[in-house]
Amino acid sequence: MADMKKSMSKTSKNNYITYAMVIAIFIVVQALSATGNLSRLLTGLLVPLCVYTIAAVSLNLVVGFSGELSLGHAGFMCVGAYSSALFSSVFADTLPSVPRLILAILIGAAVAAVFGILIGIPVLRLRGDYLAIVTLAFGEIIKNLINVLYVGVDENGLHVAVSSAGLNLAAGGKQIMKGALGISGTATLYKDIKDYFFLIGVILILITLFIVQNLVNSRSGRAITSTRDNRIAAESVGISVTKYKLMAFTISAALAGVAGVLYAHNLSMLKVSTFDYNLSILVLVYVVLGGIGNLRGSIIATIILYALPELLRGFSTYRMLIYAVVLIAMMLFNWAPAARNFRSRILERLRGNRKKKEAA
Amino acid sequence: MSFISYLKDGISLGSIYAIIALGYTMVYGIAKMLNFAHGDVIMVGAFVILAAITKAGLSPLLSIILAVVLCTVLGITIEMVAYRPLRKASSNLAVLITAIGVSYLLQNVALLVFGADAKSFVTVINVPTLVLFDGQLTIKGITIVTIAACIIIMCGLTLFVNKTKPGHAMKAVSEDRDAAQLMGVNVNSTISLTFAIGSGLAAIAGLLLCSAYPTLTPYTGAMPGIKAFVAAVFGGIGSIPGAMIGGILLGVIEIFGKAYISSQVADAIVFAVLIIVLLVKPTGLFGKNVQEKV
């Protein structure tokens, strides 16, 4: 056992700690729920917590490792959510629930990834600020378009239109997407496996972590971080900046799509208004508070920031305000050169004291 | 005649975007940062005017002056507290995220102070409606005032930047900050001045926006702010005439999209314009092509 630990590299040890942490939290929650110590309110929060965790970890890939700011994370979640809910509704009668859910997750991820590529190609050649504003624009475009989109199904196949009447469904056909009303009843299609959704969520978190951590520590991952640290230097040693930024962006989009799938299948009502700019900002707050580029931090920050305000109800009026202050304070504290100098001086002093004590 | 009527509405809306875009483009040109909170300063300006008139009973002119002063102070304060410490940060991301935090903070403070429900804005600008062609075309007073304000501001700013000493300092800082400092330009106060002008203009934009579309919520400024940034990118970021033309074009596109395509997807059209512009001409209509150097 001791030998194994020695032979393990520092990064893989770090990775395993993160997996272990997620599994440990899962076991604790399961134990609490089995002994009846978990209130209904808390139980209802578990799956959304998984959704936000996946979203935060995937956003951290873009913000933390490729050094770009994406404000359209909610847009990718939205695309994943709608495409997968559509799939689930269409194949509700033809496929059993487990393979249907797996396919739905894959489809949500794939569609979000396609959108990631489409958005990424024009924008990633430009400077970072543009990416922020374009991803924001993308989120709004998606919201706008889905808001007017009606999809129905009958024996002739799928019908897509921009109004309810425009669908021209044959008798016996059903409307699935109803514009601003969204898609309803996705969760009821999975009644039989509803109790396992938290388990599925945790598995998806682990898969997300597996993908992101392995990517980050791979050759491609090092190329991605090099484009963040110095774009020009990276280009000069033959790294294709666009390619690697696009890679990180697309994978992040796909994983956000997975978060959207989980969200859509846990709810009976899927509405596009959920996936607004504020959701993207919320996920960004989790990432910033947990530490940009720190995956474990993202998970911990999500749990604390998501669960605490829900538990302390009276706090909720000031919740967003406090998020905003926390966001600004964290950025100033972590990134301002003056704050950094101050911190390193304090640390030096502490170390100096310890050395003096050791000497004495 | 409906075409001309839409065109007039588009130019009016576009003039508001242009005034907001001026704030974005100046700050971007000089401080090299995207000030996300700019749109929310508009909202603050509008709320100040509303509160000054309805609560404090000030005269319209006095409340407009008060709003401009308060927004100017707010802009300078935001820059000093939140952005200045991060100016030399190693990552560009830091100041961008902080700006989002400031935007969020302003929205939520307004939410706590004024509440979430929409307030109807008071009539501040009283200019009679112009009726042309035997009543076929009516131009509201606010439309005339908006367009006139936009032209005056644009001319004033161009003169200020090109003819005055602080204006030259701004141009110098936007060209090369370090070189400007070596030449004796006070970079800090120049950036503060830029934020002051941008935020003062935001207060005027808030007045015009809420006079044309008289509902006010804490989120009123966010969407026009983002669209104005699109306008600034469209016209070429850092360019004053670019912001003006980009803003007006964007306003016209939005109103035409609403009128001829669908009112629900008008926003999507506006943002699609941004993506197309970035694909075809990333520097915008009037932007300069700046190569990044080692």
Q: What is the 3-class SS of A255-310, one letter each residue? A: HHHHHHHHHHHHCCEECHHHCCHHHHHHHHHHHHHHCCCCHHHHHHHHHHHHHHHH
A148 touches chain B (CB under 8 A): yes
Nearest alpha-carbon partner for A123 in A69, A54, A176: A69
Check: CB of residue B241 under 8 Å from CB of residue B29: no
| Closest by Cβ to B108, choosing from A123, A144, A321 | A321
pLDDT at A344: 84
Give A287 to chain B, closest Cα distance, Å: 11
**Residues in chain B closer than 8 A to A137 (CB atoms):** 226, 230, 271, 274-275
Q: What is the pLDDT of residue A127?
A: 66
Contact predicate A179/A166, CB 8 Å: no
Q: Which of residues 77-116 of B touch A (CB under 8 A)?
A: 82, 85-86, 88-98, 100-102, 104-105, 107-109, 111-112
pLDDT at A2: 47
pLDDT at A108 over 90: yes
pLDDT in tens, B39-69: 899 999 999 988 888 888 888 888 899 999 9
Q: Where are the domains of chain B?
A: 13-221
| pLDDT value at A76 more than 90 | yes
Which chain B residues are within 8 Å of A292, Cβ to Cβ?
Answer: 93
- Res A297: pLDDT: 87
ipTM: 0.79
Q: Which of B101, B272, B294 sits opposite A141 (nearest CB)?
A: B272
- Domain count of the fold of chain A: 2
Give the whole-angstrom CA distance, residue B93 versus residue A219: 24
What does the pLDDT profile of chain B (294 residues) look like in tens digits?
Answer: 688 888 888 998 999 999 999 988 888 888 888 888 898 999 999 999 888 888 888 888 888 999 999 999 999 999 998 888 888 877 777 888 888 889 989 988 998 888 888 888 877 777 777 777 766 777 788 888 888 999 999 899 999 988 999 999 988 888 888 888 898 889 899 999 999 999 999 999 999 888 888 888 888 888 888 889 888 888 888 888 888 899 999 999 999 988 888 777 888 888 888 888 877 877 777 776 555 544
Contact present, B254 and B262 (Cβ < 8 Å): no
- Is residue A5 predicted with pLDDT exceeding 60? no
Does A328 lie in the same domain as A289?
no
CA A24 to each of CA A204, A205, B292: distance values in angstroms, whole numbers, following the listed order: 15, 13, 48
Residue A283 in this model has a pLDDT that exceeds 50: yes
Whole-number pLDDT of residue B72 = 94
pLDDT score recorded for residue A229:
86
A87 lies in the same domain as A165: yes
Q: Work out whether the CA dihedral A217, A219, A224, A227 comes out positive or negative.
A: positive
pLDDT confidence bin for A241, thresholds 50/70/90: confident
Q: With beta carbons under 8 A apart, name residues in chain A contacting B226.
A: 133, 136-137, 140
Angle at B268 between CA A250 and CA B7, to 5 degrees: 150
For residues A44 and A162, membership in a common domain is answered with yes
Set of chain B residues whose Cβ sits within 8 Å of the Cβ of A62: none
Question: Domain ends where: A285, A311, A337?
Answer: A311
A118 at interface of B, judged by CB pairs closer than 8 A: no
Mean model confidence pLDDT for chain A: 83
Domain shared by A114 and A256, yes or no: yes
Closest by Cβ to B105, choosing from A125, A130, A325 = A325
Domain boundary among the residues A311, A332, A349 is at A311
Inter-chain residue contact A321 with B105, CB threshold 8 Å? yes
Statement: residue A205 has pLDDT above 90: yes
Tell me the residue range of the domain where A34 lies. 8-311
Task: Work out the minimum CA distance from A24 to partner chain B, whole angstroms.
Answer: 32
Q: Tell if the CB–CB gap between A328 and B34 is shorter than 8 Å.
A: no
Integer Rg of chain A from CA? 22
E strand or H helix at A107, and its extent?
helix A97-123
A137 pLDDT higher than 60: yes
Q: Assess contact for B22 and B244: CB atoms under 8 A.
A: yes
Is there a contact between B86 and A331 if contact means CB atoms under 8 Å apart? Answer: yes
Min Cα separation B245/chain A (Å): 20
Q: Is the same domain home to A19 and A147? A: yes
Q: Which residue from B114, B103, B86, B78 is spatially nearest to A321, judged by alpha carbons?
A: B103
Residues of A in contact with B274 (CB under 8 A): 133-134, 137
* Same domain for A189 and A332: no
Residues of A with CB below 8 A from B95's CB?
331
CB-CB neighbors (< 8 A) of B265 in chain A: 144-145, 148
Q: Which residue of B has its CA nearest to A278?
A: B104
Per-residue model confidence as pLDDT tens digits over A143-184: 888 888 888 777 667 777 777 666 666 666 677 777 777 787
Residues of A in contact with B221 (CB under 8 A): none
- The answer to whether residue A311 scores a pLDDT higher than 70 is no
Residues 6+ apart with CB under 8 A from B239: B25, B29, B284, B286, B287, B288
Kindly state the helix (H) or strand (E) to which residue A157 belongs, with its residue range. Answer: strand A157-161
Q: Which residues of B touch A339 (CB under 8 A)?
A: 85
Pair A346, A227 in one domain:
no
pTM, 2 dp: 0.84
In a mutational test of the B interface, the residue from A225, A235, A287, A331 whose CB has the highest number of chain B CBs within 10 Å is A331
Tell me, yes or no, whether A1 lies in a domain: no
The answer on A127 and A225 residing in a single domain is: yes
From A67, A119, A321, residue closest to B93, measured CB to CB: A67
Q: Are residues A208 and A342 in the same domain?
A: no
- Beta-carbon separation of A332 and B85 below 8 A: yes
| Range of A250-254, A305-309, B215-219, B260-264 with top mean pLDDT | A250-254
pLDDT of residue B263: 79
* DSSP character at residue A148: T
DSSP state letter for B198: H
B278–A126 CB contact, under 8 Å: yes
B226–A contact, CB cutoff 8 A:
yes
Same domain? A270 vs A168: yes
Note whether A41 and A167 are same-domain residues: yes
Token output for A229: 């640290």
A207 vs B116, higher pLDDT? A207
Taking contacts as CB-CB distances below 8 angstroms, the residues of chain B near A328 are 82, 98, 101-102, 105
Tokens at B290, concatenated: 């700046």
Long-range contacts of B130-136 (CB under 8 A, 24+ apart): B133/B1, B136/B1
Q: CB–CB of A137 and B89 under 8 A? A: no
Q: Which of A144, A245, A273, A326 is the best residue to mutate to test the B interface, defined by the most B CB atoms within 10 Å of its own CB?
A: A144
Q: A162 and A214, same structural domain?
A: yes
**Tens-place pLDDT, residues A312-360:** 666 667 777 887 888 888 888 887 888 888 888 888 888 877 666 666 5
Interchain proximity A129–B92, CB inside 8 Å: yes
Q: Taking CB atoms and an 8 Å limit, are A334 and B265 in contact across chains?
A: no
